[in-house]
Amino acid sequence: MSCNRTVAEKPQDVKQCNYHISLVPQHILFPAISALNQEDLFLLSWLSTINSSSSAAFFASWNETHQNPCKWDYIAWKIPTEVGQIRDLEIFHAGGNQGIQGEIPSQLSNYKKLVFLGLANTGTSGQIPYKLGELRNLKTLSVYTANLAGRIPPEIGNCSALENLFLYQNLISGGIPSELGYLKNLKKVLLWQNHLSGTIPGDLGNCLDLTVIDFSLNSLIGEIPQNLSTLYALEELLLSDNNISSIFQPFIGNLSSLKQLEVDNNNIFGEIPPTIGKLKELFLFFAWQNQLHGSILTELAYCQKLQALDLSHNFLTGSLPKSLFNLKNLTKLLLLSNKLSGRILPGLGNCTSLNRLQLGSNMLSGQLPIEIGLLQNLSFLELSENQFIGEVPPEIGNCMQLEMVDLHGNKLQGMIPTTFESLIELNVLDLSMNRISGTIPKFLGKLTSLNKLVLNGNYITGSIPDSLGLCEDLQFLDLSSNELSGSIPDVIGHLQELDILMNLSWNLLTGPIPEGFSKYSKLANLDLSHNMLTGAFGASSRNTDEESGLQWDFTHFQKLNFSVNDILTKLSDSNIVGKGSSGVVYRVEIPMQQVIAVKKLWPKKSEYGYSLRITEKINVYSYGIVLLEVLTGMEPADQRISEVWNTDTRDVSSAWVALLCVNPCPEERPTMKAVVAMLQEIRHENEELDKKNFLGKGSVSNPKAAVHWSSFSRSSEPLIRSPRQLP
């Protein structure tokens, strides 16, 4: 007589006693016989790794003296109607137990009836045992978000029943085995965020039941194989963040079930094929940061279910097709950093579901259509760095969900519309580098959610209104290069959240610097230059770091988990990051698998004679060296730096800050406070642009060096990643 058993839910007090009990699998089926069999002994071997008296007490009944494991505590069992039949392990699910360490036991291959093997979100490491290929009944192999390394064994292709292969977020390397093409029942293969290389195997075209392919965030090369054209059931093709280099394959239009197509951040070139219009189910299309050229297809209008379209950072030309604005379900339209020209047509008002419209850094011209005011769901409006003329449409004030309005770098004129008073959700208002005139409206004080106000480079006159003091969340204020007059209101000194920048330079301001400015304990950049201010600095200049106005947090001693010898043995030429005015910076990997930067000071410094005094400019220089090495993976003086700038560097804005730090002339390097401010601004912009963004799987490179030393302006970034229901 056999017994079908599963490990029951552990008592709550057991769970709290010791995390080691998480080593116990959650759902186990194994045979019951008169003596312990191999499966029972294997379970006991797991229990033996628990080194806790409290846990041992709870599982005291789990021992070899019990000849019938059906009577072990926390084992649920039932006697089936059949007798005399032994059932092998069918479900092994131990996911979510971070305490599980070590390799996947190859002995699992003995469970010939195993259907589900789950070790996701554990510390499982090592290679996938090739013997798992003997599991002909296995339907799901789920070992994601772990520490698997090595290659995917070709023997996996022998698991003929396999439907789901989830190995994403590991350290797996090598190529994707072509033997996966033998898996005729395969439905989902998720291998994203590993270290996979090589090409996409065309044999996957034999897996006619495939619905999801996700190989993104790897290092795959080559083209999208033509053999995939037979995958008519495919719903998601996700290949972003690789090095795929080929034309945009026309056969993709044959994948009639396709709903999500993500090929962004690759080297795909050529034109988008008209066959894309055949994808009637498509709701998300990302192809940003490639080398696409040609025009935006009118055929996209046939994709009536399309919700998100991001073709940013390519070389697209021509005008925006009228048919594009017939997509009633479109919520996100991002065409940043292309070479698009012409006008935005009034048909834009048809896209009433739109909540994100970003067309910045193109050559669009004409007046902004008043139909923008029909977009009641709009949250992000970014049309910066184009050639728009005319006035800012007051109808924009009807879009009461707006969180960002960025129209900087155009030729707009007139006054700031009074209708903007209704934009109470607004976080960012950037009208800089236009021809805006009139005064700063007092109603801006009612926009209490405002954290960034940028009006520099216009023809704004009058005084700074006291009402700005009501914008208590303001972090970034730039009113420079206008024709503002009068005194600086004292209430501006009450903006305690100002921590990135306040720039009032190049105006006609008079009077003293308000004493309230002494309360700016967090402000990193204050520029009042080129005005007609008078009086003494007074209290506003007393609260400086040098005079102990701020209390510094300083850790005198910190316990280290490495020794001096661990450092000294690694100070070799092969580990040099760079050489600066004060010494050499080394990259050192300590035994705990942590990487640290070690600075060895020169006995003499060329910039400062024979003095051994360490100044802030030297520290800034060293910081820049380390930052460059982290971003590029090579020395700042490497001859390949120009190549890396275009292809490998993940955040060009941060790299630009690093280059400022390593300026050969110490006097021209920024202060550390300025460096912090610039990096804060980069983070600040990312947070703004991601508020309504889809969830992402990782960082993304921005090909545009957008941080400028003088203005801290920054271009917008593309839509990062689609939402994903993790298995």
What phi and psi values does residue 621 have, to the nearest 5 degrees?
-60, -50
Average pLDDT (314-342) is 96
Sign of CA dihedral 680, 685, 686, 691: positive
Higher pLDDT, 37 or 386: 386
213 in the same domain as 94? yes
DSSP 195: E
Last residue of a domain, one of 56, 87, 118: 87
Q: Which residue, 284, 305, 326, sits at the end of a domain?
A: 305
Instruction: Please indicate, yes or no, if residue 180 is contained in any of the structural domains.
Output: yes
Mean pLDDT of 384-392: 97
Higher pLDDT, 192 or 525: 192
Higher-scoring residue by pLDDT: 664, 216: 216
Question: Does the structure show a pLDDT above 70 at 277?
Answer: yes
Share of the chain above pLDDT 90, in %: 53
Lowest mean pLDDT among 78-82, 89-93, 96-100, 648-652: 78-82
Pair (61, 153) in one structural domain = no
The verdict on residue 623 lying in a domain is yes
Domain count, the chain: 4
Count CB-CB contacts under 10 A for residue 28. Answer: 20
Contact 727, 190 (CB under 8 A): yes
pLDDT at 540 over 80: no
What's the whole-number average pLDDT of the chain? 78
| Mean pLDDT, rounded, for 59-71 | 59
Output 455 or 616, whichever has higher pLDDT.
Answer: 455
Residue 589 and residue 659 in one domain:
yes
Q: Retrieve residue 64's tokens.
A: 């070899």
Same domain, 97 and 218: yes
- Cα separation, 476 vs 499, in Å, equals 7
Assigned domain for 557 exists = no
Look at residue 334 and tell me if it is in a domain. Answer: no
Bridge partner residues of 391 (DSSP): 413
Q: With a cut of 60, say whether residue 404 has pLDDT above it.
A: yes
Q: Give every CB contact of residue 289 below 8 A, 6+ residues apart in sequence.
A: 264, 265, 266, 312, 313, 314, 700, 701, 703, 718
What type of residue sits at position 666? P
Under 8 Å between Cβ of 586 and 577: yes
Mean pLDDT, residues 494-500 taken together: 85
Lowest mean pLDDT among 184-193, 246-255, 469-478, 687-696: 687-696
Regarding whether 211 and 160 lie in a shared domain, the answer is yes
Q: Is the pLDDT of residue 45 over 90?
A: no
CA distance 281 to 168: 26
Check whether residue 95 and residue 214 sit in a common domain.
yes
Instruction: Please identify which residue in the block is written with the tokens 């996979």.
Output: 196
Parent domain of 35: 4-87
Please list, residue by residue across 658-668, b when 16 or more beta carbons sit within 10 angstroms of its beta carbon and e when fewer do.
Answer: bbbbbeeeeee
Q: How far apart are CA 485 and CA 464, in angstroms?
A: 8
Place of tokens 């601004």: 681
Tokens of 146: 């772990």
In total, the chain counts a number of residues equal to 727
Same domain, 244 and 298: yes
Please tell me the distance from the alpha carbon of residue 307 to that of residue 247, in angstroms, as a whole number: 24
- Mean pLDDT value of segment 452-472: 95
Q: What is the pLDDT of residues 125-152, one digit of tens each?
A: 999 999 999 999 999 999 999 999 999 9
181 pLDDT more than 90: yes
> Could you tell me if 17 and 40 lie in one domain?
yes
Between 652-661 and 616-632, two packed helices, what is the crossing angle to 10 degrees?
150
Q: In what helix (H) or strand (E) does residue 683 lie, and over which residues does it extend?
A: helix 672-690
Sign of the dihedral through C-alpha 32, 33, 37, 41: positive
Residue 635 CA to residue 627 CA, distance in Å, equals: 10
Q: Which of residues 46 and 308 earns the better pLDDT score? A: 308
Lowest mean pLDDT among 71-75, 360-364, 496-500, 522-526: 71-75
Domain boundary among 72, 87, 102: 87
Beta strands 308-310 and 332-334, pairing class = parallel
- pLDDT, residue 46, reads 58
**b/e per residue, 334-357, with b = 16+ CB within 10 A?**
bbbbbebbeebbebbbbbebbbbb
Average pLDDT score over residue span 535-559? 48
Q: What is the CATH number of the domain that holds 276?
A: 3.80.10.10
Residue 722: predicted pLDDT:
43
The answer to whether the Cα torsion of 338, 341, 343, 347 is positive or negative is negative
Q: 13 and 128 share a domain?
A: no
Burial of 174 (0-12, 13-18, 19+ CB in 10 A): middle
Q: Are residues 92 and 82 in the same domain?
A: no
Dist CA 479 CA 471 (whole Å): 15
Q: Mean pLDDT throughout 156-172?
A: 96
651 secondary structure, DSSP code:
B
What is the number of other CB atoms lying within 10 angstroms of the CB of residue 431?
24
Q: Say if 402 falls within a structural domain.
A: no
704 versus 572: the higher-pLDDT residue is 572
112 shares its domain with 30: no
pLDDT at 6: 41
pLDDT in tens, 211-256: 999 999 999 999 999 999 999 999 999 999 999 998 899 999 999 9
Q: What is the pLDDT, as a whole number, of residue 102?
A: 86
Q: Is the pLDDT of residue 499 over 50?
A: yes
The answer on 109 and 81 residing in a single domain is no
Structure tokens at 537: 């600095």
